[in-house]
Amino acid sequence: MIDKIEKGLNVVIIEDDEDVLITMSMLFKKLGCKVQTAKTGKDGLTKVKEFNPDVVLIDIGLPDISGLETAKTLRQDGFDRLLAAVSGYSHEEAIQKSKEAGFNYHLPKPANINSIVEILAKVNKET
């Protein structure tokens, strides 16, 4: 499956946990992606505008504005590419709230490498 990922996809990761942010960033870089990171929703919104990513992964529990609000703002601003929620909450209500906020996917923490690769492979088909 990894060989189906187009090298050079632009990815923004918005995550306030330093360890998770570093790990995810390293993973995406290893998969051949160009990565930008942010630790807050507001910084993430700026990174998305500057970097024009193919994929944005957003932690739901951010310190300033929630990941749900971050996703809603991106969608209202016209971002039409892939958004994936990354959350410690994976119950049905959390997944439903993610969909309502505009997320395409909801990944429970810790995000599974196979799920991430599958999402990236789908981006290739859509771009």
Single pTM value for the model: 0.91
Segment 58-114, tens digit of pLDDT: 999 999 999 999 999 999 999 999 999 999 888 899 999 999 999 999 998 888 888
In the chain, the domains with their CATH numbers are 2-126 (3.40.50.2300)
The secondary structure of 40-98 as a DSSP string is SHHHHHHHHHHH--SEEEEESS-SSS-HHHHHHHHHHTT--SEEEEEES--SHHHHHHH
Higher pLDDT, residue 123 or 92:
92
User: What band does 1 get if pLDDT is binned at 50, 70 and 90?
Assistant: very low
